Every structure is written in structure tokens, then in C-alpha cells.
Structure 1
Amino acid sequence: MAESTRSVPPNSPAPPSTTTSWRAGLFLSAVITVLISLLLVHLDTFDAAPYSSDELAKRPISVLPRVNPRVLHGSEKIGEGQLKGPEDIVFDPKLGVMYTSCGDGWIKRVTLNDSVVENWVNTGGRPLGLALGYSGEVYVADAFKGILKLTEDGEIEALTDEAEGIKFGTTDAVTVAKNGVLYFTDASWKYDLHDFALDILEGRPYGRLMTYDPSTKQTKVIARDLYYANGVEMSPEQDFVVFCETPMMRCRRYYIHGEKEGSTDVFIDRLPGMPDNIHYDGEGHYWIGIAAEHTHEWDLARKYPYIRKLLAFLEKYLKRPSVEKNAGGVAVDLNGNPIARYYDRDLKSVTSVIKIREHLYLGNLVKSFIIRLNLTQYPATAPSSTMI
């Protein structure tokens, strides 16, 4: 029997191929996935705040007098493998040791001459900022424990962990005046250290600058509504303290004495990136750690709150993309004028920079060592035109 055939009209389209159908299905699945993801982001309760037009109009300093853009070239690794995230560094010239605060809870001591590392005191939390007292004691801003005092013998005394009935969310940095009064920052009363990125992405001022007077045991808020209040340092004349606001890329000044007592103003604005700790070197310069360079991506995120909401969603549930680079430090004079910048494209999360004699020491959140750079051998030099 002859096999029957079905006639096909001459103008009928050819049936879709398997490959074409697969691609169409894949595209449809991708579109559905994106739409569902956007819906989930939209329904998330995270609420990013808009920045003011004045703030958005600011641009970072385009040229510094001197730069070294290759900090890792010629640098040394101090205490490699023994220092987990050495966030802050202070130097005791009497003992010839550096104290550094590590991610495993240890305050470690590193001898300056031979770089021997000693486990000194474990706070049981996450120590961040450090300050050397005037009688050999060390003060610690512990992100989870509050302000601590460590005696020369390594005994821990908890001093304060709340102000105005509000617990510190992220106790960040501390400095001490000659009269014994401590000045310190609570980066965010809303978010703890684990969620620091959410504070920055939300864009609201939850930070505070405070004092603790050991003679009265009183804690006072002296400046509030700060944007992630970070590093703090006493002026040489003890008449003001400088503190950093990380996402605003600036440092401000709070006056302790004089005609401006109790007021604040801007010490340096439009930094080339996000500042962390700040330290005075005793030679007329403050050194500001720059955790991440300013980027065009951050400009867009600042301008459009929805982008920050999307990044916050990724931070909470998936993984936020990392664009941090060109971290390092900036030196400024006593009036906040920029003098030099040290950085490297492959550096990120630099949190503190201190100068000891002819060397620069850089602490960070992600490395297992302190970076040391010989400034005599690898100085910052005047560029013809350097965009940063």
C-alpha cells in the first residue's frame, strides 16, 4: 500500500527548530527571573535615602601635590599570617611596640625593630580603634563591647557601651585628651559591624561622636546625625578633635575649647575615597586611611537610591559585587590641606595609616599582615597631572 503524504501549502512557514525553541525558552526564563528578582527587591523593606543636590554636586580632589600610586612595590609584610585583619595601629615609643586590633579579638603587640608578634589581650569581641593613654594604658573601641581600658598588665576594664539609653551599634574609634577624657565614635547606632555596608547603602546619619569622662563615669553625645562616624583624633593643641564620615568622603572638626567650643566645621572635604581611621604623626601631619577609592559606580549609587536598595538586597541575600580598589592613605597638614597620597590599584580595605620614623604602616580588614613602606626609598612625588 502506498504511504500517504500530507500536503503542505507552499507558503506555510517552516516548523521551529529545536535550537530556536530552546533559546526562546531560555530567554523567557531569564526575563521571568529578572522580573521576579526586581519584584523581590521592590517588596524588600530596605529604604535607601536620597542625597542632597549639594552633596551630589561634590567631586573628589582631582590632583594632589605628591603621589605614590604603587605602594605595594617595595613594601614589606609585617607579621604575615599572624595578624588577622589588623584594623588599627598605634605606636608606643617607650616600649618600642605597635599595638594592632585584629579580627579574632586579639590586641597584638609587634616589636618595631624585629617585627616579633605577641598575643597580648583578647577582648572577646572585635576591637577596632585604639588609643595610647598617658600612663601606659591602651583604650579600645570594640565594635561589640564598647569602650574598653587595658592596663599595662593586660587587665580589661569595660568603661561604657551606651549613651542616652541607646546601646552603641558599632563602637569604632577612640582618642584621649591629656585630661583623661575620651572622645570616640559610634559609627551607627542602628547597624552592627556585620551590617556596616547596609548603613552606608541606606544613606542616613546614624553615627554619633561622644565623650567619656573617667572621673565622673559619664558618657555624653556631643555630635549626632553623622554619616558612619569613623576615625577620630585629637589635635596637637588639644583644642579640637577631627573625625571622619566615611560615605561622605570627608572629615569634620569638633571644637573642645576656644571661641568655637561645641561647634563643628569641615576639616577636609572631597577626599579621593572613603576615609576610615585618622592619626596624627607628631610632625605636623594627619594620616587618613582610605578604605576604597571614589568611583563612578558609587556616584551613580549615591544619585539613585534604588541602586543602593538593589545592592543592599544583594548584600543581605546573595553577594554584593566588589568594586573596591586604589585603597591607601592621604596625608594632610594641620589645616586639612592635602599633602600626599599613597595608594595601589590592588589594595582595598585599608583602614589605618601611621608614620613611624621613615616608615609608613598600613592596617586593613582583609589581609593577614601589616604593610610597611620605606618613605625614603619610595616617596610620593609631584605628578605632572594625576587623576585620582
Structure 2
Amino acid sequence: MAESTRSPSPNSPSTPSSNATQTTRSWRLGLFLSAMVTVLIALLLVQIDTFDAAPYAADELAKKPIYLAPRNNPRLLHGSENIGEGQLLGPEDIVYDPKLGVIYTGCVDGWIKRVTLNDSVVEDWVNTGGRPLGLALGYSGELYVADGLKGILKITKDGEIEALTDQAEGLKFGTTDAVTVAKTGVLYFTDASWKYDLPNFVYDLLEGRPYGRLMSYDPATGQTKVIARDLYYANGVEMSQDQDFVIFCETPMMRCRRYYIRGEREGSIDVFIDRLPGLPDNIRYDGEGHYWIGIAAEHTREWDLARRYPYVRKVLAFLEKYLKRPSVEKNAGAVVVDLDGNLIARYYDAELKFVTTAIKIKEHLYLGNLVKSSIIRLNLAQYPATASSST
């Protein structure tokens, strides 16, 4: 009788399909273990990194509703123009001289440029040799500059540069950020962070300690005075309409405060506007009863999470330093605030980030920016903020 033959069972460990399955499982397990080891190593590296993120005070983390504008233009780039394309590298602040019909802006290459308002011709005016940030027009045609590297500078109408101050109380300025001038001639300005310079500003926000200062400089005496210290990235600064207080912005706190320079409340500080819809940068008065505040990025749940948990900020700082921090900045633009600190309108766009300055000149809104190579201009009459969610 013929010898019978039996086919191997499909489930037999010796079959090719079984071997392939076993190989796949081993490969997946190896991949999983490799990923876990990588994650553990990454967490260990983050843990031993020297960057020390601090917890915010409980009162700073108290939940408050974000201030919503009654009127919005969420498509700011729709209908906008680019002024000086390719000639204005990182135009951080903007100031207008109505007598000459020009705007001044400071660029990342050290140049302060002049742009004629009627035909947008760009002129290389003065190079500070640093990084000009905040600008303020003096009452005799001079220009004051908060240079992030060199301190407070004065530039005459003829383009001559005079260094005024770069330290206070024996501590040099880390990021001289914004400046405004009172009718008395006294300058008020901010040192955003005495610890971090401008290229490293993100570490100030992620560390969560208040290294900012509000100061004054009196040209008559040459004295630099610290008005307020322990500020969270002290940024834009502007005189009030009647010159009785100075408004200054604290970027990570999403608020602007005011310091009273005369009157019954002289020397005191209170909140001008809190819980803005994003991170404020510079602030400008338009002469028509409104302040315009540049919003560098919209408030997000991710930012709230980072503020509440120092370890999250430590991880972000590690990524910023060694790899690439995920970009969550969006919906930058401008908000309009009345004389009492009430939010009137908001202009923004999902494609915008790092807007630094918003200034209204005649019927146009002009926006400065840290990363663009032009100034954005929008005709407010043609593209206004409206009560509806669309323009």
C-alpha cells in the first residue's frame, strides 16, 4: 500500500507564513522598544538640560475670559499691499513724520529706512550698527531709537547719532525694546529682558521669570531711572493722550498696564487692558482717540498649557535649542482700543505671525513685522472690521 503524505498545517511554526508573522511581530516589538528608548533618552536629556522654567504665580494663571472684539476683520491680507518689498528686512516699528510725509522703520540689518507716504519710495537713512526696534519722533524733528543692542539713541534731523543710555542701576539693557517721549522731553522706554537679547527672546517667554523693566531718561540731567521692574517681557510703550500716564505692554501676560506720571495717582501702576486675544507687542496712539496694538500671535490653548506647566516650557526650550520648536503662531495682526482700554476692533489673518507694530495713518493701517521684508498696508475704509465674522 502506498505511503500516505500529509501537508503541513498552516498554523505550524515551520511554515513560511508563520515565520513571516513572527518576523513582523519581532520587527514591531523592536520598533516599539527603539521608540521607547528614544523617548526615554530624550526625556532624560530634557531633564538634565540646564534651562530652568519657572512656575507662574497663581494670580497670573487665574482663568479670565479672553477679550473678544465686537468688530473683526479676520482676512487682513485680503486687499492688503506690501510696501518696500525686499527693501525692508524685519521692519519692527513704524513712526510717522507728518511734516516730511515719511514713515521711519528700523530693520534687522541696522538700517533705519525712510519711506515716502505718497509713492512708497524707500531710502536708506541711518545705520545704527545695531538692531533698531522702537522709534519715537521728538518734538524738534529728532528721532529716538530703542536699539536692541545699543540702548537708547538720539538721531538728529541731519542723521547724526548720539548714544544716550544703555544701563540702569549698574545693569546693562538686554533688549532695549520700545521708547516714547513726553512733551517735557523725558523719554520712557522698556528693557524687555535684561537677561536675554533679541535673538533669544523666546527663552525669556519660556523661562517665565520677569526680567523686564520700564525706565525713564531725562535729557536735562542725563539720569536713567528704573520706574518698574519684575515685568514679564516689557514691550511696547506709549504716552496717553493728555500726557498723564504711560502705557506699556507685557507680552506673555497678554495685557497692557499704565504708569501715572502726574496727577493724583502719580507714581502708581494699574491695568489698562487685560486678556487681549493674543500677545501684544508695540502700541501706538492715532491722535483720534484710539490706541493700536500689534498682536504677534493669537492666544491658544497650547500657550495656556505651557504657561501652567513649566515642564512643557522646558521641553519647548529644548526643542528650540537643539531641534525645531513646533510653530503654533498664527492669526497675528492688530487690535484697536479706546481711551479707557475697551477693545473696539481686531484685524488679523491666519497666515500672519510676528506682527510687531500697528499704526493708523490717515485711512490706512500699517503693520510692522519681525520676519517679513516689507510693511503691510491695508485701506481701512475699503476693508473695515465688521460685526460679522467675515469681511
User: 1:18, CA displacement in angstroms?
Assistant: 3.5
Q: 2:347 aligns with which of 333, 342, 349?
A: 342
| Residues 62 and 147 of structure 1: CA distance in aligned 2, closer, same or farther (over 3 Å) | closer
Identical aligned residues as a percent: 81
1:358 corresponding residue in structure 2: 363
1:67 corresponding residue in structure 2: 72
Q: 1:11 & 1:353 partners in 2: Cα distance?
A: 74
Q: 1:138 aligns with which of 132, 139, 143?
A: 143
2:103 corresponding residue in structure 1: 98
2:153 corresponding residue in structure 1: 148
Letter in structure 2 aligned against 1:369: S
Could you say what secondary structure the match of 2:59 adopts? helix
- Would you say 1:275 and 2:311 are equivalent positions? no
Q: 2:142 & 2:312 partners in 1: Cα distance?
A: 45
1:167 corresponding residue in structure 2: 172
1:310 corresponding residue in structure 2: 315
Q: 1:121 & 1:71 partners in 2: Cα distance?
A: 31
Q: 1:367 & 1:114 partners in 2: Cα distance?
A: 20
- Are the aligned partners of 1:58 and 1:270 in contact in 2 as well (CA < 8 Å)? no
Q: 1:186 & 1:60 partners in 2: Cα distance?
A: 29
- Are the aligned partners of 1:78 and 1:115 in contact in 2 as well (CA < 8 Å)? yes
Q: 1:62 & 1:270 partners in 2: Cα distance?
A: 6
User: 1:59, CA displacement in angstroms?
Assistant: 3.7
2:249 corresponding residue in structure 1: 244
Correspondences of 1:256-267 after superposition (within 5 Å): 256-267=261-272
Matched residues, number:
379
Letter in structure 2 aligned against 1:363: G
- Are the aligned partners of 1:60 and 1:294 in contact in 2 as well (CA < 8 Å)? no
Q: 1:230 & 1:270 partners in 2: Cα distance?
A: 16
Correspondences of 1:1-388 after superposition (within 5 Å): 15=19, 17-383=22-388
User: 1:236, CA displacement in angstroms?
Assistant: 1.5
User: 1:57, CA displacement in angstroms?
Assistant: 2.7
Q: 1:359 & 1:206 partners in 2: Cα distance?
A: 35
Q: 2:126 & 2:216 partners in 1: Cα distance?
A: 24
Q: 2:270 & 2:189 partners in 1: Cα distance?
A: 17
| Residues 235 and 288 of structure 1: CA distance in aligned 2, closer, same or farther (over 3 Å) | same
- Are the aligned partners of 2:125 and 2:159 in contact in 1 as well (CA < 8 Å)? yes
Could you say what secondary structure the match of 1:247 adopts? helix
| Residues 60 and 346 of structure 1: CA distance in aligned 2, closer, same or farther (over 3 Å) | farther
Letter in structure 2 aligned against 1:378: Y
Could you say what secondary structure the match of 1:340 adopts? strand
Could you say what secondary structure the match of 1:363 adopts? strand
User: 1:65, CA displacement in angstroms?
Assistant: 1.7
State TM-score, norm by structure 2: 0.94
- Are the aligned partners of 1:41 and 1:310 in contact in 2 as well (CA < 8 Å)? yes
| Residues 60 and 98 of structure 1: CA distance in aligned 2, closer, same or farther (over 3 Å) | farther
Aligned CA RMSD, in angstroms, stands at 1.8
Deviations 1:37-77 (A, max 9, x none): 10010111211111233322334535312111111000011
- Are the aligned partners of 2:135 and 2:145 in contact in 1 as well (CA < 8 Å)? yes
Q: 2:67 & 2:132 partners in 1: Cα distance?
A: 34
Q: Which runs of 5+ in 1 are unaligned?
A: 1-6
State TM-score, norm by structure 1: 0.94
TM superposition outliers: structure 1 runs of 4+ over 6 Å = 10-13
User: 1:22, CA displacement in angstroms?
Assistant: 2.8
| Residues 62 and 334 of structure 1: CA distance in aligned 2, closer, same or farther (over 3 Å) | closer
Deviations 1:111-162 (A, max 9, x none): 0000000000111111100000011110000111000001101111111000
Q: 1:372 & 1:231 partners in 2: Cα distance?
A: 20
Letter in structure 1 aligned against 2:200: D
Q: Which runs of 5+ in 2 are unaligned?
A: 1-7
Q: 1:249 & 1:193 partners in 2: Cα distance?
A: 19
Deviations 1:212-241 (A, max 9, x none): 111111101000100000000011111110
Q: 1:175 & 1:35 partners in 2: Cα distance?
A: 50
Letter in structure 2 aligned against 1:291: A
Q: 2:342 & 2:125 partners in 1: Cα distance?
A: 37
Letter in structure 1 aligned against 2:133: L
Q: 2:98 & 2:109 partners in 1: Cα distance?
A: 26
Could you say what secondary structure the match of 1:149 adopts? strand
